[in-house]
Copies of this chain bind each other. A is one copy, B any other.
């Protein structure tokens, strides 16, 4: 990716609603409060908004237009972006391009999703998705990766369950988390089985949510009353979700994206103070510790058990509670991660603040199943 734009891109506004289930709200009703909060926080007049990028995976046509017209702010280009679980992080990447290249000075990014519209579960995209039709839904796929990881590295059920305990510890104090309660190791182990080795608490919940950020060029950001946070890397990749059956414990797509993002930021894993990564299932967080170079392959549980990735540790991962606790309304996740990391770097994350964080990373990745075995991954690095 050629990315030698000299223009600084900053986040000057953040907004999000508590992730939850809102079956009685429309997509626009879910989305607009987050966007309004972000615009108000930025303190810039709406007429300065040059473009809007809206990420949604399942929100239906013209989601961004529906949200923005509810706010009465239209006229500028509004473009909807779909990349499965990395829909709104891909929207963020386009918004970054728009500001970094000088096309626009102020751009709004939205992530919005209403999963309660569906029943939940993995829907086959086409009749040819025979793997999904046969039961190879997301929990089953990740469960296979978990089983293989356990086989390769001797990880136990109890050790894997600790990822869930940590996630819910973090999310318990996050007012935006869908599941705001701690769960004990025993509760994780005893919850109902989903796909062996996963019990219920190994899996992220289904829900609705919205998040938004306002990006501005550096010269405008510095004139606001905000504490601008710079975006120092913006990366989107495509490819096989893992190395497939050759090595299903190595998330190739993310590992490649991580290298690209680090190169663009001129930083390495040792520089990351806080990270929001795509822990759709417990095993995912461990695999991503390794893909991001936070530890060597096979050493993820050691890193977890050392406390380094817990709040109070050297590099907390998913202080928000992550997908497991904050929730995962597919298309909203990427921007929600950005909101979390920006607020962390601004020192206003509240009870789950990571003290002194200066550099943060977000990671959302989608696909990897049957008809969409080639997925998308989007990684951003933020710095204050």
The chain A residues found within 8 Å of chain B, CB to CB, are 1-5, 26-28, 50-52, 57-58, 60-63, 65-66, 68-69, 74-84, 90, 93-94, 97-98, 100-105, 117, 125-126, 128, 235-240, 256, 366-367, 371-376
Query: Is the CB–CB distance between B5 and A366 below 8 Å?
Result: no
Residue of B nearest to A76 (CB): B238
Whether A61 and B82, one on each chain, are in contact in the complex, defined by CB atoms closer than 8 angstroms, is: yes
CB of B237 within 8 A of CB of A75, answer yes
The residue on B at minimum CB distance from A125 is B60
Known contacts: A97-B103, A101-B101, A102-B2. The answer to whether A78 contacts B376 by CB under 8 A is: yes
Q: Which residues of chain B are near A81, meaning CB under 8 Å?
A: 79-82
Q: Could you say which of B26, B128, B374 contacts A65, with CB atoms under 8 Å apart? A: B374
Q: Beyond A77-B1, A82-B82, A94-B94, is A66–B236 a contact (Cβ under 8 Å)?
A: no
Most chain-B CB neighbours within 10 Å: which of A82, A102, A117, A375?
A: A82
A343 to chain B, nearest CB (A): 26
With a cutoff of 8 Å between Cβ atoms, the chain B residues found around residue A375 in the complex are 62, 65
How many Å lie between the Cα of A23 and that of B376 in the bound state?
Answer: 27
Q: Output the least CB separation between A214 and chain B (Å).
A: 17
| Bound: A145/B239 CA distance, A | 46
B1 touching A65, Cβ below 8 Å: no
What 5 pairs between A and B have smallest CB-CB spacing? A101-B101, A77-B236, A69-B374, A80-B82, A78-B238
